Structure 1
Amino acid sequence: MKYGIHAGLWQARWTDEITPILRVVADLGFDGVEVSLLGMTDEKADALGRAVRDHGLGVTCSDGLAPDKDITSADADVRAAGLAYLRWAIATTAKIGSRGLAGVVYAPWGVYDPANKAVRAERSAQAFAALDGDLAAHDVTLGIEAINRFETDLVNTAAEAADMARASGSTRVGALLDTFHLNIEEKDIGAAIAGAGDQLVHFHVSDNDRGVPGSGHVPWAEVADALRGIGYDKWIVAEMFVIAGNPASADLNIWRNIEPDATDAAARALDFMRKTFE
């Protein structure tokens, strides 16, 4: 198992420089860092890739789609723009040195159209099928993240994420599950993880308030048992958002400080992850 942490824990804005965060992550003892491609440029990607290697860290990437790049849109031009963006994101992920790209890559965050859910899901799967060659060429795996009903109407459950991955027909497309969202949407978290099975390619942890895992009421023994049960041995990344009052936190509706200090939260998270998942 490899343990990572999302750089967004320390970023006030998604465009903030990530390089200074790498030393903190390495000093804490994480195996790697997860970085968002929001605000990324080709020049930044080159520099970040070098810096990640210099710090001896692994790296994973996350991303999302803007409304004008919606691969579920009825407008073919908008879908084409989304496909082009995802091709750039895959290439950029590889440039940074990552073999994993995951997130809300199937539709724009916060855009809802439940009456057309089935056709939108089909369009997403078709787009991912078209990306199979790009994923293979760059040796990247794409993770479809199931998120809660307040952020999307398209992929809320582990089953929906796994089903969309299978519908793509690509062995390089799978599911990303996150305990924060599982805690909201699943009646049985362990069964949901087990149901994803070999479709699970990436895993995020935080507690029910997006804070330090183990500090809330997520059933962690059940989570760990389910991951062991399916033989999951890939990245487990702490994706926590704990500090209010900055633009990135406002995007995620963090209206109060969940933890008093981001670096302390990261240290406690790593300690809990090692004790729980090893």
Structure 2
Amino acid sequence: MKFGIHAGLWMARWTDEISPILKHVADLGYDGVEISLLGMTNEKAAATAGLIRDHGLEVTCSHGLSRDADITSADPAVQQAGLEHLRWAVRTCATLGSHGLAGVVYAPWGVFDPLKKADRTARSAHMLAKLDVDLADAGVTLGIEAINRFETDLVNTSAEAVTLARATGSDHIGALLDTFHLNIEEKDIATAITSAGDKLVHFHVSDNDRGVPGSGHVPWDVVQSSLKTMRYNGWIVAEMFVLAGNPASADLNIWRNIEPEAQGAAQQALQFMRRTFS
């Protein structure tokens, strides 16, 4: 099992310089860093890959889709734009040295059209299936993230994430589960985790307020025992957003400081993760 942390914890903007963040992550003793591809370019990816290696870190990636690159759209041109963007994201992961790409990769974040959910889901599965060869060639696994109802109407639960992943027919597509979202959407967190089975390819941790895991009311004994039952041995990544007052936090509706500062939150999170999951 490897422990990572999302670089967004330290970012005021998604385009912030990442070099000092990589030093923080390495100095704290994390195995790797998770990087959002928002604001990434081909040139920046190549340079960042060198920095990651220089700090002795591994890397995972997260990403999402925009409204003009929506693979659930009824417009074939918009669908194709989404597919090409995801293909770029897969190639960029390979450039960075990442074997994992996860997030809201199945529809734009914050878009809701529940009356057309079935059709949108079918189109999403159809387009994601087209990534199979790209993923295989790049050595990248795609994780479909189940997120809460206030951020999407398409994939809110573990069951929906797994169903969509299976509908693609790709062995390179699975599910990303996140304790923040599980805590909101699932009636039974243990069942949500264990029923994902071999489709669970990535795991995010934070507490119920997106702060330090172990500081709130997420049932960590249940989370730990469920992952142990599954013999999950992949990445566990702390994805925390804790400081208000900057554009990145506003994107995620962080309106008050959840923790006093980022560095201490990162240190406490790693201590908790090692104590709970090692």
* TM-score, L = length of structure 1: 1.00
Structure 2 SS opposite 1:106: strand
What are the superposed Cα offsets for residues 168-205 of structure 1, whole Å, 9 maximum, x if unpaired?
00000000000000000000111100111110000000
Output the CA distance in 1 between the equivalents of 2:235 and 2:221.
18
Aligned-pair identity in percent equals 72
Output the CA distance in 2 between the equivalents of 1:186 and 1:247.
29
- RMSD of the TM alignment (CA)? 0.4
Q: Which residue of 2 aligns with 1:58?
A: 58
Does residue 1:132 correspond to 2:95, yes or no?
no
Does residue 1:198 correspond to 2:198, yes or no?
yes
Alignment of 1:62-101 (within 5 A): 62-101=62-101
Output the CA distance in 2 between the equivalents of 1:190 and 1:217.
15
Output the CA distance in 2 between the equivalents of 1:24 and 1:55.
10
Give the superposition deviation at 1:74: 0.5
Alignment of 1:1-278 (within 5 A): 1-278=1-278
Output the CA distance in 2 between the equivalents of 1:114 and 1:14.
29
Output the CA distance in 1 between the equivalents of 2:147 and 2:41.
26
Output the CA distance in 2 between the equivalents of 1:198 and 1:24.
33
What amino acid sits opposite 1:89 in the alignment? A
What are the superposed Cα offsets for residues 98-118 of structure 1, whole Å, 9 maximum, x if unpaired?
000000000000000100111
Structure 1, unaligned stretches of length 5 or more?
none
Output the CA distance in 1 between the equivalents of 2:93 and 2:126.
21
Deviating above 3 A after TM superposition, structure 1's stretches of 4 or more consecutive aligned residues are none
Output the CA distance in 1 between the equivalents of 2:123 and 2:140.
21
Structure 2 SS opposite 1:248: helix
Output the CA distance in 1 between the equivalents of 2:181 and 2:119.
24
Give the superposition deviation at 1:245: 0.1
Aligned residues: 278
Output the CA distance in 1 between the equivalents of 2:17 and 2:113.
35
Output the CA distance in 1 between the equivalents of 2:111 and 2:98.
28
Structure 2 SS opposite 1:201: strand
What amino acid sits opposite 2:30 in the alignment? F
Output the CA distance in 2 between the equivalents of 1:11 and 1:127.
32
* TM-score, L = length of structure 2: 1.00
Structure 2, unaligned stretches of length 5 or more?
none
Output the CA distance in 2 between the equivalents of 1:17 and 1:39.
11
What are the superposed Cα offsets for residues 128-166 of structure 1, whole Å, 9 maximum, x if unpaired?
110000000100000000000000000000000001000
Give the superposition deviation at 1:17: 1.2
What amino acid sits opposite 2:22 in the alignment? L
Output the CA distance in 2 between the equivalents of 1:150 and 1:56.
37
Output the CA distance in 2 between the equivalents of 1:274 and 1:128.
34
